[in-house]
Structure 1
Amino acid sequence: MDATIRKPKVVAIPETGFMRFKQVQQVFPIGRTTLWELVGRGLFPQPIRMSPRLVVWRAEEVHAWIAAQGQQKTGIVAANELGIPCTAVAGLSPAA
C-alpha cells in the first residue's frame, strides 16, 4: 500500500497572457464541444487563432467571464435560459 498523501493540484489562471484549451478546461471543466458551442453562441470569450493548430484565450477575458457568472445573463446562466440542458453544459451524459 502506498501511504503517500497527495496534495490537490492548484490551478491558477494567469493575470495576463494567453491560455490554451487545457488550461481553460482546468478551471472550467466542460468538454471541448460544449466550450465551442458556448463560444459560437457568444456565451464564452472568443479565442485567438495563433496558427492553424493553436487557439488561445486571453486570460483577462476569462477572468472577466468568470466574474460575470451569476451577475448577468452570460455563459452557463444564459445557456440554461437558451434551453441547453445542464448535462450538455456540464459535459455530462444524461442518466439512462
Structure 2
Amino acid sequence: MQLPDTGYLRLSQIIGNPKANPPIPAIIPVSKSTWWQGVRTGRYPKPIRLGPRITAWPVESIREFIKRTGGGI
C-alpha cells in the first residue's frame, strides 16, 4: 500500500481489514490486540485522539516505525 505524504491513518488502515468492501490490505500485519499491546509497551507509535471516538496515527510516525524496523514487525 502506498502511504500518503501527510495526514493520519486509522487502525484499520494500518493492520488491514479483509472483511471491508473492498478489502483493506495491512501495512503492518498484526492483530488488533497485538497492536494495542505494542502501543502500551512502546513498540508501536502512540496514537493521537482526533475526537472522543476517533483515534489515528500520523503517517509520519508509521513511516518512521517502518523505516526503524526495516519493514519488519
TM-score, normalised via structure 1 length: 0.59
Amino acid in structure 2 at the alignment position of 1:29: P
Q: Verify: 1:13 aligned to 2:3, yes or no.
A: yes
Q: Deviation at 1:30? A: 1.0
The reply to whether residue 34 of structure 1 matches residue 34 of structure 2 is yes
| Alpha-carbon distance in structure 2 between the residues aligned to 1:33 and 1:52 | 20
Q: Which runs of 5+ in 1 are unaligned?
A: 1-10, 77-96
| Counterpart residue number, 2:58 | 58
The two structures have a TM-score, normalised by structure 2, of 0.76
Give the number of the structure whose alpha-carbon radius of gyration is greater: 1
Instruction: Please report how far the alpha carbon of residue 22 of structure 1 lies from its aligned counterpart in structure 2 after TM superposition.
Output: 1.1
What is the RMSD computed on CA atoms of the aligned residues? 1.5
Specify the code of the residue in structure 1 equivalent to 2:69.
Answer: Q
How many matched pairs? 62
How far apart are residue 36 of structure 1 and its match?
0.4
Q: Deviations over 1:19-78 (max 9, x none)?
A: 0111111201111110000000011110001112110000001001000005xxxx84xx
**Percentage identity across paired residues of the two chains:** 35
Unaligned runs of 5+ in 2: 16-25
